[in-house]
Amino acid sequence: MSVKSKVRLGVNLDHVMTIRQARFTPYPDLKQAIELSEKAGADGITMHLREDRRHIQDDDVYLAKQVIQSSMNLEMAATDEMRDIALDVKPENCCIVPEHRQELTTEGGLDVVAHGARIKDITSALTEANIAVSLFIEPDHKVIDASAEAGAPVIELHTGTYASSVGDKQVQELKRIMNAVAHAASLGLVVNAGHGLHYENVAPIANIEHMFELNIGHSIVAYALFVGLETAVQEMRTKMCT
Ligand code: PXP
């Protein structure tokens, strides 16, 4: 039985596909991963089509759109190529992220202040196609204001610094995220968060007032190796409620 928390859980399946791409095998199967995640209570399925195609492939995105029953969140860089793919696939949600080729994972948030015009163009093209656009940003008031100005209805706050710090530094970062959520909510933005969240650090973020959705991938897929994907998703939901 799955536990329903008030905050939505978007399950990021990138690293299921990392295992497939390590050997270019037909397994593990994305369709099965989507179905098991949803059966376990995922409110949405997230995937990042990176420019270097290191895990999710173009065909995966089209297949996912057909299989997903909940809602699809496509993470992508602010490029013309990705915009055109998103307009063709029409996921319910798109999260615009910064992307650097050599990084292990998405490092830092989008610089919406410096690249406002570009982000505004992509946001308006996707919004016209009825796709809810979210901007993956640092918990910083200036960047939140710029995101609202760019016309994005949703932001996703980068929790990487919170996740990688300990002690007082982590408490300070939690406060910074809480202030950012309150500020964004006062502007009418929907607020999501993600990156580096795991079973032991998720609860304080899930308990922030006005938090709408958490997008979590690596820790769920890693735990699924031992307990299976359904249990890993269910246990994350349970932790989000504590
Ligand atoms: N949100 C965004 C925008 C991301 O880029 C990622 C990583 O792909 C995540 C959430 C999930 O991060 P993690 O895999 O560390 O849970």
pLDDT above 70 (res 5) = no
| CB distance 44 to ligand 1 below 6 Å | no
Query: Measured in angstroms, how far is the CA atom of residue 75 from the centroid of ligand 1?
Result: 9
What is the arithmetic mean of pLDDT over 104-126? Answer: 89
- Model confidence at 99, pLDDT cuts 50, 70, 90, reads confident
For the record, the structure tokens of 239 come out as 């932790």
State yes or no: is 75 an active-site residue.
yes
Q: How does pLDDT run across 12-22, given as a tens digit for each residue?
A: 999 999 999 99
Set 99, 138, 158, 195: catalytic member:
195
| CB distance 75 to ligand 1 below 6 Å | yes
39 in Cβ contact with 31 (< 8 Å): no
Query: Measured in angstroms, how far is the CA atom of residue 178 from the centroid of ligand 1?
Result: 19
Residues 6+ apart with CB under 8 A from 235: 199, 223, 227
Return the closest-CA partner of residue 14 out of 95, 86, 75. 75
The pLDDT score that the predictor gives to residue 102 is 65
- Model confidence at 93, pLDDT cuts 50, 70, 90, reads very high
Set 38, 55, 75, 138: catalytic member:
75
pLDDT above 60 (res 68) = yes
Q: What is the DSSP letter of 2?
A: P
Quickly tell me which residue has 């270019």 as its tokens: 24
The pLDDT score that the predictor gives to residue 24 is 97
pLDDT above 60 (res 186) = yes
State yes or no: is 235 an active-site residue.
no
pLDDT above 50 (res 4) = no
Whose alpha carbon is nearest atom 12 of ligand 1?
A: 195
State yes or no: is 195 an active-site residue.
yes
| CB distance 159 to ligand 1 below 6 Å | no
Q: What are the CA-CA distances from residue 12 to residues 38, 138, 215 (Å)?
A: 12, 19, 6
CA quadruple 184, 127, 89, 44: dihedral positive or negative? positive
Query: Measured in angstroms, how far is the CA atom of residue 8 from the centroid of ligand 1?
Result: 15
The pLDDT score that the predictor gives to residue 101 is 64
Query: Measured in angstroms, how far is the CA atom of residue 155 from the centroid of ligand 1?
Result: 13
